Amino acid sequence: MNLITFLVKAKINTYASNNKKRTLKDGSKELIYKNINLIYRDKYFGFNPFIGEEVVWRNGKVVWGMNYYGKIISDKVDDEQLYEFLRKAMRLVKPERPFRGPAYLREGEWVYKDKSYGKVDNFKGVEIIFLKKKKVYELKYHGGNIAK
């Protein structure tokens, strides 16, 4: 399986699907997805704000990674509703942009926007959620291939 196809499957089958995460001794949360010779790990600290990394191994060697930092920036939003909407957006990740969710998603008064630059080997981006036209959440991310 190629890296991009694997990333899309891994992202849909971990945080986006609200699959069970485990809490590690260092206080972080971890989600793992495996497929034959590929392993994906999403590990993050905190809740609001939070910081984390996604890493992919192929045959035991790290080949790709992404760092992210995000937070809810409004105290007038229900965090559970926001994160449920975010998971819906993340389930729409596509091979053309295998980093976060779609470029745009609207559901009722919720709007998700993601702007990314670059390709899977070297990229950066910003993900923003609006509620009733007010920015309530922001996440910045960057990453790419890691030398073999």
When pLDDT is averaged across residues 60-85 and rounded to a whole number, the result is 94
Q: Global pTM?
A: 0.91
When pLDDT is averaged across residues 116-129 and rounded to a whole number, the result is 96
Task: Tell me the three state secondary structure of residue 29.
Answer: strand
Q: Is the separation of the CB atoms in 66 and 52 below 8 Å?
A: no
> What is residue 40's predicted lDDT score, i.e. its pLDDT?
96
Read off the pLDDT band of 34 (50, 70, 90).
very high
Q: Would strands 134-145 and 38-46 be described as parallel, antiparallel, or unpaired?
A: unpaired
C-alpha dist (Å) from residue 37 to 47, 63, 94: 31, 12, 22
Residue reference for tokens 């390709």: 119
Read off the pLDDT band of 6 (50, 70, 90).
very high
> What is residue 148's predicted lDDT score, i.e. its pLDDT?
63
Residue 88, phi then psi, degrees to nearest 5:
-60, -45
User: How many domains are there within the chain?
Assistant: 1
Residue reference for tokens 């990333």: 7
Q: How far apart are CA 101 and CA 8, in angstroms?
A: 10
When pLDDT is averaged across residues 61-90 and rounded to a whole number, the result is 95
Give me the chain's average pLDDT, please. 94
Q: How far apart are CA 123 and CA 145, in angstroms?
A: 9
Domain that holds residue 71: 3-145
